Amino acid sequence: MKAVITVIGKDRVGIIYSVSDILAKANINILDISQTIMQDIFTMIMLVDISKCEDHFAEISKSLEDLGAELGLSIRIQHEDIFNSMHRI
C-alpha cells in the first residue's frame, strides 16, 4: 500500500531529515521524493510504501502533523488512492 506525503512551508535546515526520521522509525520506505525551494518556501512531495508499517495510519498522520506544527510547516499524509481521487479532473 502506498501513501503520498506533502510538506510546505518556510525553508529551514533539517526538514527532510526530520520527516525521514519519523518514516524510518515507523518502517515506512520512501519510494520517490521531489523537493524544491521557491524563493524561501520549501515544497516536497513523497511517495512512500506503508505496507510494512505496524503503526496505525492515524498515528503516523498525527506524528507528521505534530512535526509540522513544531517546524512551522504543513505536513500531510494521504493514502495514494485518496490523493489520486482528489486530484483527478
Cell of 6: 506533502
Residue 79 domain boundaries? 2-86
Residue of 54, 49, 47 lying closest to 1 (CA atoms): 49
pLDDT of residue 80: 76
Model pTM? 0.89
19-40 mean pLDDT: 96
Question: Considering its fold, how many domains does the chain have in total?
Answer: 1
26-30 mean pLDDT: 98
Cell of 14: 533539517
pLDDT digits (tens, 9 = 90+) for 34-85: 999 999 999 999 999 999 999 999 999 999 999 999 999 999 999 877 766 6
For the purposes of burial, counting CB atoms within 10 Å of the CB of 37, is it exposed (0-12), middle (13-18) or buried (19 or more)? Answer: exposed
CATH number at residue 51: 3.30.70.260
